[in-house]
Chains A and B, each alone.
Chain A
């Protein structure tokens, strides 16, 4: 009995211990729940040298960007010379800067043929001027250039100005893909060159790399670069030197997966990067740089396609790579690729900036230039905060180059602000629009949402109703007072006097035809009637936009009628929708398209291409191929208006007016922005929105009309690079050509258009669910796969459910 009791007590004791241990394990598992998933991870040997996220981490010291104008002309090379100065080789001569690029003066000892100026593009027949295909500057100030007149001449200019001719016999040019040697980029001349540290010159004709002795200017060695041909596509290479090594970065096309066949599209092909190294004294191929190869092949390194600008480091045995992600440094005596500058802070992330040439002195002093001739200097500032003190989160559903340009410009103006752009649908994963919106909403509810929303494709009305968006009236008033705003456009989302969501751009749907025709068409039904009559009167002539697909026509017809489809109470107006499709089908049936060409891109891709495919410039071209004298189109920018006016000039008594539809005075609001009501950085957010409504309205990547009146007026001014006059245009998909004289709109025409823009009053429906449903079902109707009533029933069923929620 006693032992049994002892046994039970022992059992109970063990049960208690077991229970306590299990409780402890559960508690321990809760400690794994934390906010950070781990930052600053090593990615293929890459490490972050500076903090990216977070505000004002407290640490100091980073590279700071300074932008200044470069010397005149197209920049071919720039180098830091031994006395610490900068030397630049441009199409107007050689320039030196003693103050790190702040000022430039011509080099006294340069050859006259350089200071007289030259071209860098290919020679045309009969042209006898000097052309230079390659140029390089050495660290001692020596120059090399490949001059093309009747024959190629390779010259080396020493620091004292003395000139030497380099005798170089190159293999004959290889024909390009079209079998033409004249345009070949392989063989027959030097395309790139660079001086090594020991003074030797390395140059390439894209077939081999030649090492030229510094003193005798004879070929020391020829490095043959083997490239693998993949289905007629040959890769390429570039090179640089550091210390006593030559680095050849070879890029080749590789099939991706087993599905790569001749019929495979480009998406089945990727780039493979390999970095081969050679000793410049013994000419031997040493071990390849796998770490560098992996970096350049990866997303961090630009994923191939020569996404990097390569800068050999002058004094620190390093190589520098610049891409949109930032500046990376590879110590040739180590195995790490280090990120020394975050691209988000600099011009490299600005899609409007194309970097061309650069030079690195050491990791604290680097220089880049862009195709606009600016010099961008990066200098280490020990007092600069390693990450900006303030940050702003901007969310956009679809990637937007114009927004990236705006962000880059805003950061340049405000270096103490980091603007983080989050893109919902990047296209690199399988995220759908619904998934992206749910992720966004989750982060908003968790308190981690963005400060600013770019709401194209989002449920704007819903966000407004839920109180997610803050009032932007102060911003609107401020910009209106300084520059003027199209309040008729801005007011499309105005509720109870508050501007909760504001479109920053817009487009105008118009119809171009003879005045007689225009006078008969007030509604979509009128247009159908007038086209029927026209078709009967001129049976041999092209009637209406026959060169575009039915789905494309639907996209163009929708904006001017869509406002009529939604009743005041938010339900769908079935009658209006039915009438729309009846008229649209009549217009479709009148056409006699000779190209039965429907896009095979996914609907998402088609919608993304819609702005281009409905623009007046594009449709003017298409109408030219069919000799049609009338078409519908959206005027989104100056070139659209130019194309439209130019077309009108070819038609007797031609003109244009707002597109007829089921609503009047319609416009398409675009690039809508809003400030999150949950944001704690309202002031900064308003500053950014003010920037978007002012400075950013002038930006080149924005290809629709600005709501800022001052910027709108600028867009109507004739651009400097516009090519007016007769143009011959060939069709890419069909046959034939046509000629048309392009004339920029006169002041009167521009004023007329501005007046039209000021009178627009009805925004087109931009709710993506509604437009996409109408488009998807409507395309079947237009192609005769579904009747009008069936189409309307299907749309009604889906959209009513959507609206009823």
Chain B
């Protein structure tokens, strides 16, 4: 790799490599090599590591719990990411147009990120328990109370919690993107007679596409963190609707199902990698067209 550089550029390249070497070494040792081991283990038995070929993958797809968890995770992602991205964008635009008070609201939206998980869990329990506040309120209003966390509404509570927690983060990122759009373009468009919606459609959105890629990827990665609240509230075996892949991995760990964990982890990495590469490809194509 270095051979194509000569002289000063070669020295610069070596210096650059030396700077990133510690970080690269860390990633290799703590991420890449362990993943290679996981990849090997996905073709082996859990304890004695005997070769099994693709047997683990076949068993994985036959495991109904895996199918349920994968579907729930996909469903969760498919619902949350678009809602979060769109809602945060709209709020960012509103906050930007408010003026100085927008900064105060921006900080307020960031507060949920600082709330400890245990506090969120406590809130869930107090609100949504069978004998919680929500049911007490419903009873007073003449409604029928139910065990919210043990019905299909548990999924929507999880979605709500995720959006509430991550909204501020995405708003900040969107606002950074919005501030990067030169105001001269908007002025020129208005001179040409463009309205608000046309400015949004033809100026704001195209300029925010790089940020859209970043926010989507980060929101997707953050979606895995919602497992913490779900686990603390509902334990190892929550209601079916909020049974995610992480619940499955967590439970498999206790049963020594390392073969299944390895093969499922490889599949998840493949899916995520494909998704990110697809997004990147779309973004790069958009860039070329412009």
Interface residues of A (CB under 8 A from B): 12, 15-16, 19-20, 22-23, 25-26, 434, 437-438, 441, 444-445, 459, 462-463, 466-468, 677-678, 794, 797-798, 801-802, 804-805
- Write the nearest CB–CB distance from B139 to chain A, whole angstroms: 16
Q: How far is the CA of A805 from the CA of B254 in the complex (A)?
A: 11
Q: How far is the CA of A26 from the CA of B22 in the complex (A)?
A: 6
- Asked whether A444 lies within 8 Å of B240 as measured between CB atoms, the reply is no
User: Taking A23-B21, A678-B47, A805-B248 as contacts, is the C-beta distance between A441 and B237 under 8 angstroms?
Assistant: no
User: Taking A434-B254, A444-B256, A797-B239 as contacts, is the C-beta distance between A677 and B25 under 8 angstroms?
Assistant: no
- Asked whether B253 lies within 8 Å of A438 as measured between CB atoms, the reply is yes
Interface residues of B (CB under 8 A from A): 11-12, 14-15, 18-19, 21-22, 25-26, 45-48, 63-65, 68, 150, 236-237, 239-240, 243, 248, 251-259
Q: How far is the CA of A696 from the CA of B180 in the complex (A)?
A: 77
- Asked whether A804 lies within 8 Å of B64 as measured between CB atoms, the reply is yes
Question: Chain A binding site: helix, strand, loop or mixed by DSSP?
Answer: helix
Contact of B240 among A23, A459, A797 (CB under 8 A): A797
Look across to chain B and name the residue whose beta carbon is closest to the beta carbon of A773: B237
Q: How far is the CA of A441 from the CA of B19 in the complex (A)?
A: 38
User: Taking A441-B253, A459-B255 as contacts, is the C-beta distance between A467 and B237 under 8 angstroms?
Assistant: no
Write out the residue numbers on chain B whose beta carbons fall within 8 Å of the beta carbon of A445: 47, 258
- Write the nearest CB–CB distance from B23 to chain A, whole angstroms: 9
Contact of B18 among A23, A459, A466 (CB under 8 A): A23
Write out the residue numbers on chain B whose beta carbons fall within 8 Å of the beta carbon of A677: 47-48
Write out the residue numbers on chain B whose beta carbons fall within 8 Å of the beta carbon of A20: 18
- Asked whether B15 lies within 8 Å of A801 as measured between CB atoms, the reply is no
- Write the nearest CB–CB distance from B82 to chain A, whole angstroms: 28
- Asked whether B22 lies within 8 Å of A22 as measured between CB atoms, the reply is yes
Q: Beyond the given A16-B15, A19-B18, A23-B18, please list 14 additional residue pairs across the A-B interface where CB-CB is below 8 A.
A: A19-B19, A19-B21, A26-B25, A441-B253, A441-B254, A459-B254, A462-B256, A463-B256, A466-B45, A466-B256, A797-B150, A797-B240, A801-B240, A804-B68
Contact of B47 among A12, A467, A797 (CB under 8 A): A467
Write out the residue numbers on chain B whose beta carbons fall within 8 Å of the beta carbon of A434: 236, 254
Write out the residue numbers on chain B whose beta carbons fall within 8 Å of the beta carbon of A678: 47-48
Most chain B Cβ neighbours within 10 Å, of A463, A794, A801: A801
Write out the residue numbers on chain B whose beta carbons fall within 8 Å of the beta carbon of A468: 47, 256
- Write the nearest CB–CB distance from A440 to chain B, whole angstroms: 9
- Asked whether A805 lies within 8 Å of B257 as measured between CB atoms, the reply is yes
Write out the residue numbers on chain B whose beta carbons fall within 8 Å of the beta carbon of A805: 63, 65, 248, 251-252, 255, 257
User: Taking A468-B47, A677-B48, A678-B48 as contacts, is the C-beta distance between A804 and B15 under 8 angstroms?
Assistant: no
Write out the residue numbers on chain B whose beta carbons fall within 8 Å of the beta carbon of A467: 45-48
User: Taking A437-B254, A438-B254, A459-B255 as contacts, is the C-beta distance between A801 and B48 under 8 angstroms?
Assistant: no
- Asked whether B257 lies within 8 Å of A19 as measured between CB atoms, the reply is no
Q: How far is the CA of A463 from the CA of B236 in the complex (A)?
A: 19
Write out the residue numbers on chain A whose beta carbons fall within 8 Å of the beta carbon of B150: 794, 797
User: Taking A467-B48, A801-B237 as contacts, is the C-beta distance between A22 and B254 under 8 angstroms?
Assistant: no
User: Taking A438-B254, A804-B63 as contacts, is the C-beta distance between A466 and B46 under 8 angstroms?
Assistant: yes
Q: Sorted from nearest, which 5 A-B pairs have the closest CB atoms?
A: A19-B18, A26-B22, A804-B65, A462-B255, A437-B254
Write out the residue numbers on chain A whose beta carbons fall within 8 Å of the beta carbon of B253: 438, 441
Look across to chain B and name the residue whose beta carbon is closest to the beta carbon of A571: B64
Look across to chain B and name the residue whose beta carbon is closest to the beta carbon of A25: B22
Look across to chain B and name the residue whose beta carbon is closest to the beta carbon of A462: B255
Q: How far is the CA of A26 from the CA of B243 in the complex (A)?
A: 41
Q: How far is the CA of A441 from the CA of B26 in the complex (A)?
A: 26
Look across to chain A and name the residue whose beta carbon is closest to the beta carbon of B150: A794
28 A-B residue contacts at CB 8 Å?
A: A12-B12, A15-B15, A19-B18, A19-B21, A22-B19, A22-B22, A26-B21, A26-B22, A26-B26, A438-B253, A438-B254, A441-B253, A441-B256, A445-B258, A459-B254, A459-B256, A462-B255, A463-B256, A468-B47, A468-B256, A797-B237, A797-B239, A798-B237, A804-B64, A804-B68, A805-B63, A805-B65, A805-B257
- Write the nearest CB–CB distance from B151 to chain A, whole angstroms: 10
- Asked whether B15 lies within 8 Å of A466 as measured between CB atoms, the reply is no
Write out the residue numbers on chain A whose beta carbons fall within 8 Å of the beta carbon of B48: 467, 677-678
Most chain B Cβ neighbours within 10 Å, of A12, A678, A798, A802: A798
Most chain B Cβ neighbours within 10 Å, of A16, A438, A445, A468: A445
Q: How far is the CA of A797 from the CA of B65 in the complex (A)?
A: 12
Q: How far is the CA of A804 from the CA of B240 in the complex (A)?
A: 12
Q: How far is the CA of A677 from the CA of B50 in the complex (A)?
A: 13
Look across to chain A and name the residue whose beta carbon is closest to the beta carbon of B258: A445
Write out the residue numbers on chain B whose beta carbons fall within 8 Å of the beta carbon of A19: 15, 18-19, 21
Q: How far is the CA of A678 from the CA of B50 in the complex (A)?
A: 13
- Write the nearest CB–CB distance from A495 to chain B, whole angstroms: 16
Q: How far is the CA of A805 from the CA of B47 in the complex (A)?
A: 18
Write out the residue numbers on chain A whose beta carbons fall within 8 Å of the beta carbon of B22: 22-23, 25-26
- Write the nearest CB–CB distance from B45 to chain A, whole angstroms: 6
Q: How far is the CA of A543 from the CA of B18 in the complex (A)?
A: 84
Q: How far is the CA of A12 from the CA of B63 in the complex (A)?
A: 58
Most chain A Cβ neighbours within 10 Å, of B47, B150, B236, B248: B47
- Write the nearest CB–CB distance from A3 to chain B, whole angstroms: 17
- Write the nearest CB–CB distance from B168 to chain A, whole angstroms: 32
Write out the residue numbers on chain A whose beta carbons fall within 8 Å of the beta carbon of B15: 12, 15-16, 19
Write out the residue numbers on chain B whose beta carbons fall within 8 Å of the beta carbon of A26: 21-22, 25-26
Write out the residue numbers on chain B whose beta carbons fall within 8 Å of the beta carbon of A444: 47, 256
- Write the nearest CB–CB distance from A289 to chain B, whole angstroms: 44
Q: How far is the CA of A468 from the CA of B64 in the complex (A)?
A: 24
Write out the residue numbers on chain B whose beta carbons fall within 8 Å of the beta carbon of A438: 253-254
- Write the nearest CB–CB distance from B93 to chain A, whole angstroms: 42
Q: How far is the CA of A804 from the CA of B18 in the complex (A)?
A: 50
Write out the residue numbers on chain B whose beta carbons fall within 8 Å of the beta carbon of A462: 255-257
Write out the residue numbers on chain A whose beta carbons fall within 8 Å of the beta carbon of B19: 19, 22
Write out the residue numbers on chain A whose beta carbons fall within 8 Å of the beta carbon of B11: 12, 16
Q: How far is the CA of A798 from the CA of B237 in the complex (A)?
A: 6
Q: How far is the CA of A462 from the CA of B251 in the complex (A)?
A: 12
Q: How far is the CA of A574 from the CA of B22 in the complex (A)?
A: 57
Write out the residue numbers on chain A whose beta carbons fall within 8 Å of the beta carbon of B254: 434, 437-438, 441, 459
Write out the residue numbers on chain B whose beta carbons fall within 8 Å of the beta carbon of A459: 254-256
- Write the nearest CB–CB distance from B136 to chain A, whole angstroms: 17
Write out the residue numbers on chain B whose beta carbons fall within 8 Å of the beta carbon of A802: 237, 251
User: Taking A466-B47, A801-B240, A805-B65 as contacts, is the C-beta distance between A16 and B18 under 8 angstroms?
Assistant: yes
Write out the residue numbers on chain A whose beta carbons fall within 8 Å of the beta carbon of B21: 19, 23, 26
Contact of B257 among A15, A23, A466, A797 (CB under 8 A): A466
Q: How far is the CA of A23 from the CA of B18 in the complex (A)?
A: 7
Look across to chain B and name the residue whose beta carbon is closest to the beta carbon of A22: B22
- Write the nearest CB–CB distance from A531 to chain B, whole angstroms: 32
Write out the residue numbers on chain A whose beta carbons fall within 8 Å of the beta carbon of B239: 797
Q: How far is the CA of A23 from the CA of B21 in the complex (A)?
A: 7
Most chain A Cβ neighbours within 10 Å, of B65, B243, B255: B255
Look across to chain B and name the residue whose beta carbon is closest to the beta carbon of A676: B47
- Write the nearest CB–CB distance from B37 to chain A, whole angstroms: 11
- Write the nearest CB–CB distance from A15 to chain B, whole angstroms: 5
Write out the residue numbers on chain B whose beta carbons fall within 8 Å of the beta carbon of A25: 22
Q: How far is the CA of A437 from the CA of B250 in the complex (A)?
A: 11
Q: How far is the CA of A802 from the CA of B251 in the complex (A)?
A: 8
- Write the nearest CB–CB distance from B268 to chain A, whole angstroms: 16
- Write the nearest CB–CB distance from A467 to chain B, whole angstroms: 5
